[in-house]
Structure 1
Amino acid sequence: MDKVVALTKRRGFIYPSSEIYGGLSGFYDYGPYGVALKRAIRDLWWRHMVDLRDDVVGLDSTLIMPSEVWAASGHLTNFVDPLRQCLGECKRRWRADHVTGDRCPECGGQLDEARMFNLMFKTHVGPVEDTSSAVYMRPETAQGMFVDFKNVLNSSRVRVPFGIAQQGRAFRNEITPGNFVFRVREFELMEMEYFVEPDHDEESFKYWRETRMCWYKDVLGINPERLRFYDHPRASLSHYSKQTTDIEYDFPFGWGELEGIADRTDFDLRVHQEGSKVDLTYLDPVTNQRYLPWVIEPAVSVDRIFITLLLDAYDEDVVNNEPRVVLRLHPNVAPVQVAVVPLSKKEDLIKVAREVRTSLQGRFRVEYDQTGGHIGRRYRRQDEIGTPFCVTIDFDTLNDQAVTIRQRDSTEQERVGIAELPARVGQLIG
């Protein structure tokens, strides 16, 4: 983990937030390559969850919602973690289920008795701070999809079964954020609520369970041996869940949740119907019967996928008798898919290199490296950020109108005509 964390800062993936002021625990900024990788993750998720389907629509709801929403959903009473505070020198706070015994893991001081701590960030809307103006930053995107369920029904040509998908920021005031960006206080979620007929949840739950696992293996290229299902025992289920399966990854700190698939029954629509006094039932156009749909929810953090991809891709090997650090990212998610590298800064090579770059831009994520210097060192830099292919423009290019494609994983090279280059890169990326 330490090597990956160091790499993310060195190569511009992730920085500590407000670092020049000492940082803020549980908050991180994403640098140029981090932004590109996150965008690739989001785009692939949206493509497979929405664009390639005809039964899922999108939504973008607000970050701040009134307290009535969270009272109805149960978050004000149930979205809590057990907290214990050190009474000794360090005064640190710990999640009670993350410590053993009555002594502080940091300084050895006495820990107080556990008490429940609500994880939502509270603020106020308007100039007066009182109970009537209290609102909360959303800890999940799901509730926006439930409270807008009726609007989506009335404005879209959707029929059960169908889904509503959303991507966006969420906030949780974690007691002990940690393991880099695995557990943070501000993060980005991708969630989908799939509405089905009552008591028709089992088939849909099984479908999304398998579909989501295949996405990680086949689309993101994550090592299948480091993925597994974890079915939650009834005692650990959330207050809204009939059954929940986590897709877990074998992190350096142990197996941990990557994505959760939850069977939420009709809990959310029912409590919001009761809380708002608005009819949220669905009228089946075939049977002419009204009912509250049940919901299957696949939900995942972009940040969790992000760190999973980096950990899964990180490798060290030896090339030409020199040690090399390489991110073996799948081309689908690599922040740079093709690097265009002129061999020297001479203008005749630069001119051709820029033309090559233009021919690839718009179709692939392209970086242009005109820094000069030893070509081997420039290859190593691209290896560290996970670029699967480098296209080198050399002096022979001026004569044969061809370039060299160098592959990251094998370091093998092939000569390709400039006119055929976009098609060949497309074949290699797949």
Structure 2
Amino acid sequence: MSGESETEALDELARRRGFYFQANESYGGVAGFYTYGPSGASLKRNVEESWRERFVTREGNMEIDAPTVTPEDVFEASGHLDGFDDMLVECAGCGESHRADHLVEDATDIEDAETYPTDEVEELIAAHDITCPNCGAPLEGQRVEEFNLMFETTIGPGSGQPGYLRPETAQGMFTEFPRLKEYAREQLPFGVAQIGTGYRNEISPRNALLRTREFTMAELEFFVDPEAGGPDLDAVADVSLPLYPASAQAEDGEEYVELGPKEAVEEGLVAGEWVAYFLARSKAWFESVGVDMERFRFRQHLPGELAHYAADCWDAEAEVGGDWIELEGVASRSDYDLSKHAKHADDTFTVFKQYDEPKTVERATVEPDMAALGPEYGSAAADIASALADLAARDRSAFDGDEVTVEVDGETYTVEKELTGFEVTEETEAGRHIVPHVVEPAFGVGRAVYTVLAHAYDEDEVDGETRSVLRLPPSVAPTTVGVFPLMDKDGMGETARELAETLRQAGFDVTYDDAGNIGRRYRRQDEVGTPFCVTVDYEAVEDGTVTLRERDSTEQKRVDADALPGILADIRAGTRSFDEL
């Protein structure tokens, strides 16, 4: 199936079977907003629970739920006000706005136009005679501008306090760090996770769930000691990472490097053991929820593509409809976020690192004579005193002469050394405060759901008819089991309804269906990805055994109805297979 036909078939199935559809269609709809239907909401919830089990429960991390509306000061500190932009070009003919880098990528062989400066994108639009997708008017000569993607709002009545809908969940975990570190007893490393809604005012939403204006993210902020060792990579030694490094992309190659996590670090390809560890954990998780590993890779960000906070980043990407789409970014954010908030917020964003034994250290301090500095330097005296303190901590040799020079707001001041109160003393300290570094695996839940559906969708032939089937893993399928009476008579309907209720009480998502012939009922469940169907026939009423049908192979086996909850639980958990029954 071609890329375009694959996505068209998936979108048609999604609407018809209740996975997702455009929101507010009765009012015309607005691009970039989707509603998950009954099947989609269940699939999405199962994917989220699987992520939580892997990255929170099994890793021993914390989870929080922070507000989606955030004061402007937070995003000023984080850099989002200045650096969270996409390239916009507006058509002079119809007034429609477009994502300029996407237009260039669609019309050329360039895959990373977002890394280009705006003036070069303007030149590419002109050189390739790119026109407006809406009305066909030429876009040559139209200015390409940076457009901030955050939704702005007002907190409180009237003019109120400016705020924004969060474009990511990460800042909630950074701003609450002073309290969260206490819950972790200031012991590094520790992780804080969050699954929640993010908002980005996309210029041109497209591709269903892949680029929307409201979406769900699952993010983990993992705080580490930059001077300490990393994780035990032997725990993920069995994972092979399909890496697409920046060097290969620069050469326009498609050559992937298959390495284990430890080898990737030793060869300098991946920046740090924690990044390699989370790449390995991520790959295993994606495979567990149904992403096809033959259509999966980790692509390293190019230098011009890196976010303003990232020192290095690898995107987990999957091929869908002929295009590679981002599912996750694993970023090394260094100490950028906590250091930024430490400068702007009235709190402490460090962790106290205790030494194995107390140490005696020399410390340079200043105690300026303000009675002399005040009359001499006026309103600048306090800033000069602060600058002297910073200089003493940074470079004590600057105080070797009779005078000391500092710079305040671009102006140079020379102060007599005797007025600075400079001295070097010995102190015994039990430890010191450090700013943790952050490694962030950030997942797009909607993109993962879309990819799982795309990779699960298949068409085959059963009993001479073409069958549409979603080969979803039992752990994430919207419905675990369909229960059918062969006919709703002679006690079969009553027995089937009782069995369906028993399975529901055992924690399974169950569909009961007695409409139409049994083959059609099977097809309906195959199409929404239900991995098992149970048929209650005359024999079931007589001896308590039922027919259990497996979706992918369509094979059937006779099992005891009383044992069914345990059988399904084992298969869903992966501890037993259908073939072993």
- TM-score, normalization by structure 2: 0.71
The structure-2 alpha-carbon separation of the partners of 1:367 and 1:175, relative to structure 1 and needing over 3 Å to count, comes to same
Structure 2 CA distance, aligned partners of 1:286 and 1:389?
A: 57
The structure-2 alpha-carbon separation of the partners of 1:397 and 1:83, relative to structure 1 and needing over 3 Å to count, comes to same
After superposition, what is the alpha-carbon deviation per residue over 1:271-329, rounded to whole angstroms, capped at 9, x for unaligned? 00101132211012455221000000000111001100000000001100011000000
The structure-2 alpha-carbon separation of the partners of 1:299 and 1:144, relative to structure 1 and needing over 3 Å to count, comes to same
After superposition, what is the alpha-carbon deviation per residue over 1:117-170, rounded to whole angstroms, capped at 9, x for unaligned? 0000001012212xx611100000000000001111223446211100000000
- Aligned with residue 173 of structure 1, among 187, 190, 201: 201
Q: What is aligned with 1:106?
A: 134
Alpha-carbon offset, residue 248 of structure 1: 0.5
Matched, 1:76 2:52: no
Query: 8 Å contact 2:513–2:521 — kept in the other structure?
Result: no
Alpha-carbon offset, residue 354 of structure 1: 2.4
Matched, 1:27 2:33: yes
Matched, 1:3 2:9: yes
- Note the 1:279-428 alignment, pairs <5 A: 279-286=348-355, 288-346=431-489, 348-428=491-571
Query: 8 Å contact 2:313–2:330 — kept in the other structure?
Result: yes
Matched, 1:235 2:301: no
Structure 2 CA distance, aligned partners of 1:232 and 1:213?
A: 18
The structure-2 alpha-carbon separation of the partners of 1:286 and 1:393, relative to structure 1 and needing over 3 Å to count, comes to farther
Structure 2 CA distance, aligned partners of 1:347 and 1:122?
A: 63
Identity of aligned residues (%): 42
- Is the deviation greater in 375-384 or in 15-24? 15-24
Structure 2 CA distance, aligned partners of 1:113 and 1:365?
A: 56
Query: 8 Å contact 1:248–1:258 — kept in the other structure?
Result: yes
Q: What is aligned with 1:13?
A: 19
Structure 2 CA distance, aligned partners of 1:136 and 1:258?
A: 24
Alpha-carbon offset, residue 362 of structure 1: 4.4
SS in 2 for 1:318: strand
Please identify the structure whose Cα radius of gyration is greater. 2
Alpha-carbon offset, residue 357 of structure 1: 1.8
After superposition, what is the alpha-carbon deviation per residue over 1:371-404, rounded to whole angstroms, capped at 9, x for unaligned? 3211110100000000000011112111121000
Structure 2 CA distance, aligned partners of 1:167 and 1:273?
A: 25
Structure 2 CA distance, aligned partners of 1:94 and 1:151?
A: 42
Structure 1 CA distance, aligned partners of 2:509 and 2:168?
A: 34
CA-atom RMSD, angstroms?
1.5
* Ranges in structure 1 where 5+ consecutive residues have no aligned partner: none
Q: What is aligned with 1:44?
A: 50
Structure 2 CA distance, aligned partners of 1:279 and 1:347?
A: 72
Matched, 1:154 2:179: no
The amino acid across from 2:152 in the alignment is K
Q: What is aligned with 1:208?
A: 278
Count of matched residue pairs: 425
SS in 2 for 1:99: helix
- Is the deviation greater in 97-106 or in 322-331? 97-106
Q: What is aligned with 1:262?
A: 331
Query: 8 Å contact 2:32–2:211 — kept in the other structure?
Result: yes
After superposition, what is the alpha-carbon deviation per residue over 1:224-262, rounded to whole angstroms, capped at 9, x for unaligned? 110001011222111111000001001114112111100
- Aligned with residue 62 of structure 2, among 54, 57, 60: 57
Query: 8 Å contact 1:357–1:366 — kept in the other structure?
Result: no
The structure-2 alpha-carbon separation of the partners of 1:265 and 1:17, relative to structure 1 and needing over 3 Å to count, comes to same
- TM-score, normalization by structure 1: 0.96
4+ long deviations beyond 4 Å: none
Alpha-carbon offset, residue 109 of structure 1: 1.5
Alpha-carbon offset, residue 71 of structure 1: 0.3
Matched, 1:121 2:151: yes
The amino acid across from 1:216 in the alignment is F
* Ranges in structure 2 where 5+ consecutive residues have no aligned partner: 1-6, 105-124, 229-270, 357-430, 575-581
Q: What is aligned with 1:140?
A: 168
